[in-house]
């Protein structure tokens, strides 16, 4: 941008690598590195459809059948209210399926390279906020899956309102439009998740204000989750809390959500700073001379990822200031002869002032996380070194000590080369 106690709540969660959207609590699912552009194991495995044990009563106008249990709210009424708020005539789901839902809607990828990078930067797989049971989810517009564990919960009506916004998004191809505009880097997927989930929180918040008005507001639930999550859990929770803030800054009525879907944020910089339309800066980064196995991930992590990383050791304000001015980034991966991993995270900022602010913040992060030794830092996870290569570009080396100590980073007219 060109300018200078876990909480027991029910919140939303989106499986990044698939099309499943849902409402999860009390904590968020971790996200992968650069997700695949095609649905994979993140989408729940199809199960045989149980025989419905309940049908809607005659005064429930939506004609949504319920199987597997009973709801203490009328889903058809909730859906009609949601579509009224959204000013749409989208068809309702055909069925609500109530069943036990254990674990998460997706599993972590078995990619040790990605996990090693996350661990080095505080986004550990063992994060206490990295798992949780799903309260509800939508994998296809015809069915809403509800965890039997939330029956009787006072937030159930808000949960259904949130899921029904997702149903409308599916029916009107809003999810496809938002994802198609963003692309498939981690940065762009996080941005599209913020638009999709932020819209659902926004719709549920409007529903709560008009029809419930007791208990915890959906937006407060999302904010509490984000505030009390850490590491990868916070990266996921941002879609709901910061996505809602983005939507609320751009529109004041859920009937105008189509404006968001037509012009969604395509980077997390745009998500974090409504009104900003900057595209990522140009960045050429390549592997130079080396006898090690090396590759260019070709991915972009984004401002939200930088902020979340810095926030693993620093307060929210410091992390946001350090990440502000992000222009673009990418990562080069190395495998040492001893099968140890090294990473060169190349970050380019908008100007020299923002670059200097990031460097100061990163040094503070390193002092908190690791022990300084010479021109680098060492922690139980690995070795770190920060290498400025020009006035707007920094290469953050991390991983095996042999890599961090032997790697060199240079810039030639803006093109960055990392050699070992």
The span from the CA of 28 to the CA of 10, in Å, is 10
Strand order in the sheet with 326-335: 293-296, 326-335, 341-349, 393-399, 382-390, 376-379, 371-373
pTM of the model: 0.86
Detail the DSSP E strand segments found in 279-370: 285-287, 293-296, 326-335, 341-349
CB 328 within 8 A of CB 282: yes
Q: Please tell me the distance from the alpha carbon of residue 238 to that of residue 317, in angstroms, as a whole number.
A: 15
Question: How far, CA to CA in Å, does 82 sit from each of 135, 141, 165?
Answer: 19, 15, 7
Residue 132: what pLDDT?
A: 54
pLDDT score, position 10 = 35
Residue 161 CA to residue 63 CA, distance in Å, equals 16
Q: What is the pLDDT along the chain (420 residues), one digit of tens a residue?
A: 444 322 323 333 332 222 345 544 332 223 333 333 322 222 222 333 333 434 444 355 557 999 999 999 999 999 999 999 999 999 999 999 999 987 544 433 445 566 789 999 999 854 444 445 688 999 999 999 999 999 999 999 999 999 999 999 999 999 999 999 988 899 999 999 999 999 999 999 999 999 999 999 999 999 999 999 888 889 999 999 999 999 999 999 999 999 999 999 999 999 999 999 999 999 999 999 998 999 988 789 999 999 999 999 999 999 999 999 999 999 999 998 888 999 999 999 999 999 999 999 999 999 999 999 999 999 999 999 999 999 999 999 999 999 999 999 999 999 999 999
pLDDT on residue 131: 45
At residue 63, the pLDDT reads 76
Task: Supply the pLDDT for residue 14.
Answer: 31
Q: Report the DSSP beta bridge partners of residue 349.
A: 326
Closest to 170 measured CA to CA, from 92, 237, 114, 58? 92
- According to the model, what pLDDT value does residue 59 have? 53
- What single DSSP character describes residue 44? P
Question: Cβ distance 308 to 264 under 8 Å?
Answer: no
Structure-token match 């599993």, residue found: 107
DSSP codes of every residue in 324-340: TTEEEEEEEEEE-TTS-
Q: Across the chain, which distance is largest between two alpha carbons, in Å? A: 76
Residue with tokens 């060169």: 344
Helix axes 303-310, 316-323, angle to 10 degrees: 140
Q: Comparing C-alpha atoms, which of 273, 305, 264 is closest to residue 180?
A: 264
Helix 303-310 / helix 186-207 crossing angle, nearest 10 deg: 80
Residues 6+ apart with CB under 8 A from 289: 419, 420
Instruction: Sort 165 into a burial class: Cβ within 10 Å, 0-12 / 13-18 / 19+.
Output: buried
Tokens of 133: 């049971």
Nearest-angstrom CA–CA distance, 16 and 108: 11
């Amino acid at each position: 941008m060109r300018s200078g106690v876990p909480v027991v709540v029910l919140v939303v969660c989106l499986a990044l690598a698939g099309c499943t959207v849902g409402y999860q609590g009390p904590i968020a699912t971790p996200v992968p590195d650069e997700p695949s552009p095609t649905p994979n194991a993140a989408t729940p495995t199809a199960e045989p459809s149980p025989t419905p044990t309940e049908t809607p009563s005659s005064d429930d106008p939506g004609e949504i059948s319920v199987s597997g249990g009973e709801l203490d709210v009328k889903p058809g009424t909730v859906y009609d209210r949601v579509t009224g708020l959204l000013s749409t005539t989208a068809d309702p789901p055909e069925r609500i399926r109530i069943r036990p839902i254990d674990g998460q809607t997706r599993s972590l990828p078995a990619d040790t390279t990605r996990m090693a990078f996350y661990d080095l930067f505080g986004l550990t797989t063992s994060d206490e906020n990295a798992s949780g049971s799903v309260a509800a989810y939508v994998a296809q517009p015809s069915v809403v899956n509800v965890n039997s564990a939330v029956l009787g919960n006072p937030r159930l009506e808000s949960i259904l309102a949130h899921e029904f916004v997702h149903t409308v998004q599916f029916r009107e191809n809003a999810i496809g439009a938002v994802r198609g505009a963003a692309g498939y880097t981690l940065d762009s997927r996080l941005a599209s998740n913020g638009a999709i989930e932020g819209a659902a929180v926004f719709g549920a918040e409007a529903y709560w204000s008009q029809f419930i008005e007791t208990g915890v507001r959906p937006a407060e639930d999302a904010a509490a989750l984000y505030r009390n999550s850490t590491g990868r859990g916070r990266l996921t929770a941002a879609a709901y809390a910061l996505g809602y803030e983005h939507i609320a800054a751009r529109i004041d009525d859920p009937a105008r959500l189509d404006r968001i879907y037509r012009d969604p944020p395509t980077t997390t910089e745009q998500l974090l700073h409504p009104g900003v339309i900057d595209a990522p800066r140009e960045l050429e980064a390549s592997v130079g001379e080396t006898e090690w196995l090396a590759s260019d991930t070709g991915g972009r992590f984004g401002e939200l990822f930088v902020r979340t990383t810095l926030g693993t050791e620093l307060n929210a304000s410091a992390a946001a200031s350090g990440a502000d001015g992000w222009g673009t980034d990418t990562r080069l991966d190395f495998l040492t002869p001893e099968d140890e991993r090294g990473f060169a995270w190349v970050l380019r900022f908008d100007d020299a002032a923002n670059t200097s602010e990031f460097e100061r913040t990163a040094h503070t992060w390193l002092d908190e996380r690791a022990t300084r030794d010479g021109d680098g830092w060492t922690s139980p996870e690995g070795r770190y070194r920060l290498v400025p290569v020009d006035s707007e570009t920094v290469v953050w080396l991390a991983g095996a000590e042999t890599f961090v100590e032997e790697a060199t980073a240079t810039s030639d007219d803006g093109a960055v080369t990392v050699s070992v």
